[in-house]
Amino acid sequence: MSGVAVSFGDAVKAIGNSFIFLVVAAFTLLSFLKGSGVTHISGLPGLAVFGAFLAAYVLGFQVSLRLSFGTSSVIALASTAASTGAFFLSRSIL
């Protein structure tokens, strides 16, 4: 798809870097929500959460695999959907 040869080690590194960026984004969002007293996220703020997670994954894939923005975005979309769902699920539990 991207024309870049990727080894297993590079793929593992990409997943690790993406996870680190995702954790930073999630803790930043949770810290803001806890401090501001916001109890429900919907509409535009919900899309902002999705966008923050997408940016974290794209950045992780770009840094680790040296892919273009477009290719990284396509790869990161499925991971972002799962992470956003997990975030909102954990938000309702916490």
Q: Which ranges constitute the DSSP H helices of 1-94?
A: 8-36, 44-65, 69-93
> In angstroms, rounded to a whole number, what is the distance separating the alpha carbons of residues 13 and 11?
5
Query: How much of the chain exceeds pLDDT 70, in percent?
Result: 91
pLDDT digit string, tens, across residues 9-32: 887 788 788 788 878 887 887 787
Residue 4's pLDDT is 67
CA distances (Å), origin 24, targets 1, 38, 54, 71? 29, 19, 13, 23
pLDDT digit string, tens, across residues 54-70: 888 888 888 888 888 88
> In angstroms, rounded to a whole number, what is the distance separating the alpha carbons of residues 85 and 49?
10
* Domain regions of the chain by residue span: 8-93
Burial zone of 32 (CB within 10 Å; 0-12 exposed, 13-18 middle, 19+ buried) = exposed
The answer to whether residue 2 scores a pLDDT higher than 60 is no
